[in-house]
Amino acid sequence: MSLLRKAARFALAGWLCATAAVAAEVGVTDSTVTIGMSSPFSGPNGAYGLEMKEAIGAYFEHLNRTGGVNGRKLELIALDDGYETERTVANTRKLINEHGVFALLQYYGSSPTTQAMNDVFGPARVPLVGTISGAGTIRVSPRENANNRYMFNIRASYADETDAIVSQLVSLGLKNIAVFYQNDGFGLSGLEGVTAALKKHNVTPSAVGTVERNSLDVDAAVKAIAKAAPQAVVMVTLFKPTAAFVKAMRKAGQNPQFMTLSPVGADLLAKELGNDARGIGISQVMPYPFNDTTPVVREYQRLLQAKKNTNYSYYGIEGYITAKVLVEAIRKTGKDLTREKLVQTLEGMSNLDVGGYRVNFSPSERSGSKYVDLTVIGSGGRVLR
C-alpha cells in the first residue's frame, strides 16, 4: 500500500472517529436537543397535562428565538398517556427507542412514573426531571434503587404535604379526621402520609373511603365516611372525583372541613365545583402563580401573556419551573452534552435558585424541595393564601 493511500485511510478513520464522537449521544445534534414528555392530554385529567405542556412549550419557543441553549434549540416531543400506567410505560419506550430523546421531563402520576422508572428510563439510563408525584418510591436514594439515579423530583413529597395539612387541622382542635383517596399509587401514598402525620398527634383516621382511578363512583366512599360525621376530610384525589365527593357529601348533609393535596389542581377544582368549592383547603408545592411578587412567577406570566393567555395555574408554573431546572442543567453541562454528564450536573445542583424557588440535589438526594404552602378557595373560585 502506498504512503498516500495509508495517509488517506488514516485521515478517513480520524474523520469518522471525530464524527462519531460529536454525534455519540442520542437526542443531541450540533443544532438541537430533543426532550420527551408523557402526561395526560385527554380524558378526565387531560387539563393537567395541557397546562404543563403549554408553559413548557412557550418557554422552549422563547429560548429558541433567543439562540437556544449553548447554541442548540430545544425540541419537545409530548405524548398523551391518559393518566394510565401501561400507556405511560409504552410512551417512555417510544420516546427513548423510536424518537431517540436525550432526556425526559414532567411526567404525571405515582404509579405510571414509578413503573416507567423501574422498567424503562432507569435501566436505559435516561434522566427524567420532574413529575407530578410526591410518592416515596421515586425519592429513595440511588443506593437503595439504582434506577432512582435517573429521577430528579422538583416538588415536595406527599408526606410533606399531608404533614402540613394534618398539623393545620390539629392546631384548630380537629381530631375526627377521615381520608378519601383514589386507589392507586398517588392515593395510597397520600393515605400513608395522612396516617403517619396523624400518628404524631396520637390520632388515627376516623373513616376511610376510596375511589378507583379515572372513576367518579364515590357512593361507597361517601357512605363509609358519612357514618363517622368527620370534622375534616383529607382528599387524596384528582379534581373530578374530588368534586363528585364534595357534592355527594354535602347532599348527604355532611359539611366537614375539606382538605386536598396539590395534584388536584386548584383552578380546575374551582371551575368544576363553582360556588361549592368555597372553603376547600389545598396544600401547594409551587409558588403562588396568580400575582407577580416572585421573580419566577413574573417570568411565567410574561411567557403566557406573549401567547395572549392569562390563565395562570399551579400546573403551569410547575411545568415552567421544571423546564427551567432542566435547561439550567443542560446549560451548565456545556457543549459536550451527554446523559451521564447531565446526571452529574444535576447531582451537583445544591441550593439552585430559579427565581425565588430553590431546588437541592446531591448524589444521594432526589427530593429537590420540601416547600409546602396552604391555600383556600374563596368566593368566585379565587385561590387565596
For 340, the grid coordinates are 451521564
pLDDT at residue 22 tops 50: no
Question: What end-to-end distance do the CA atoms of the chain give, in Å?
Answer: 80
Asked whether residue 136 carries a pLDDT value surpassing 50, the answer given is yes
Q: What pLDDT, on a 0 to 100 scale, did the predictor assign at position 216?
A: 96
Q: What pTM was estimated for this model as a whole?
A: 0.90
At residue 187, the pLDDT reads 95
Q: How far is CA 68 from CA 28, 30, 74, 130, 352, in A?
A: 13, 12, 7, 21, 21
Examine the pLDDT at 2 and tell me if it is beyond 70.
Answer: no
The structural domains of the chain, ordered by start, are 32-156+291-370 (3.40.50.2300), 158-284 (3.40.50.2300)
pLDDT, residue 24, reads: 66
For residue 13, pLDDT over 50 is answered with no
Q: Range with the lowest mean pLDDT among 21-35, 102-116, 354-368?
A: 21-35
The mean per-residue pLDDT over the stretch 199-211 comes to 97
Distance CA 334, CA 329 (A): 9
Q: Is residue 127 within 8 Å of 104, Cβ to Cβ?
A: yes
Average pLDDT over residues 194-216: 96
> Does residue 9 surpass a pLDDT of 80?
no
Q: How many CB atoms lie within 10 A of CB 71?
A: 9
**Dist. CA 47–CA 19, nearest whole Å:** 43
User: What pLDDT shows up at residue 337?
Assistant: 98
Mean pLDDT, residues 95-116: 96
Output the pLDDT for position 310.
Answer: 93
Per-residue model confidence as pLDDT tens digits over 38-83: 999 999 899 999 999 999 999 999 999 999 999 999 999 999 999 9
Alpha-carbon distance 178 to 250, whole Å? 15
Condensed to tens digits (0 to 9), the pLDDT of residues 169-185 reads 999 999 999 999 999 99
Render pLDDT for 306-323 as a digit per residue (tens, 0 to 9).
999 999 999 999 999 999
Specify whether the CB–CB gap between 231 and 175 falls below 8 A.
Answer: yes
